[in-house]
Structure 1
Amino acid sequence: MPHTFEPPVVDAVVAHMNGDHIEDNLLIVRAHGVPEATAASMSDADGDAGTWTVIGPEGPVGERRIRWPGGPITERAEIRREVVALYDAACATLGVPPRPH
């Protein structure tokens, strides 16, 4: 069973990703199994993965759960590290230059 973060932690992460990193969300889901995505928003996070709600050209696609590249995590600070790793991997896969962190 994955580690469960307290709701305020998940809410803060989701708000940050959807407020400041909406384009990153799209790159992440495109590179991790939904190349046709036209929009994506983070909807959840636990110790094993992040979850994104995905929209395609014809409407909602559903949710995409993407495992953390470094494996299971248990600390809030590790979420940022893993999301950055997902973003960097997405940029490499899609041939997009990553911005500095």
Structure 2
Amino acid sequence: MTAAVLHHMNDDHTDDNLLIARAFGGETDAEITAVVMTGFDGDGGTWQVTRGGETEELVVAWPGGSITERPEVRREIVALYDAACERLGIEPRPHA
């Protein structure tokens, strides 16, 4: 399951990864040049963020609190995306 989620996020949602990093990584400007989701657990998601040529780890807690079930992962990533859009003043796209 973890590999499938990471593959999906890093192949289909690269812009979402960047939005999340800019909203929750302490920087909202173009200084962040690359973001890759590297993992997640019951408490949140983990991204590798490249900023100014340096790579660092960013851990963001799930907005709804800790999770224990697989279906909750998608729900929490969508909630994180929506929260990132709100922080950055961006209109979120509709969710299917």
* TM-score normalized by the length of structure 1: 0.86
Task: Spell out, residue by residue over 1:50-83, the C-alpha distance to the aligned partner (whole angstroms, 9 max, x if none).
Answer: 0000011x21331101010101101111000000
Residue 40 of structure 1 is matched in structure 2 by: 35
SS at match of 1:62: strand
Report the Cα distance in structure 1 between the residues aligned to 2:7 and 2:54, rounded to whole angstroms. 20
- Aligned-residue identity in percent: 59
Q: Which of 25, 46, 51 is the aligned partner of 1:51?
A: 46
Distance 1:42 1:33 in 2: 13
Using the size of structure 2 for normalisation, the TM-score is: 0.90
| Displacement over 6 Å in runs of 4+ | none
RMSD: 1.0
> Unmatched 5+ residue regions in structure 1?
1-8
Deviation at residue 37 of structure 1 after TM alignment:
1.7
Aligned pairs for 1:13-92 (under 5 A) are 13-35=5-27, 36-56=31-51, 58-92=52-86
Per-residue deviation at 1:20?
A: 0.3
1: CA distance, partners of 2:74 / 2:6: 11
Structure 2 CA distance, aligned partners of 1:75 and 1:10?
A: 12
Instruction: State the Cα distance separating 1:34 from its structure 2 match.
Output: 3.6
Report how many residues are paired.
92
Structure 2: which 5+ residue stretches go unaligned?
Answer: none
If asked which structure has higher relative contact order (CA below 8 Å, sep 6+), I would say: 1
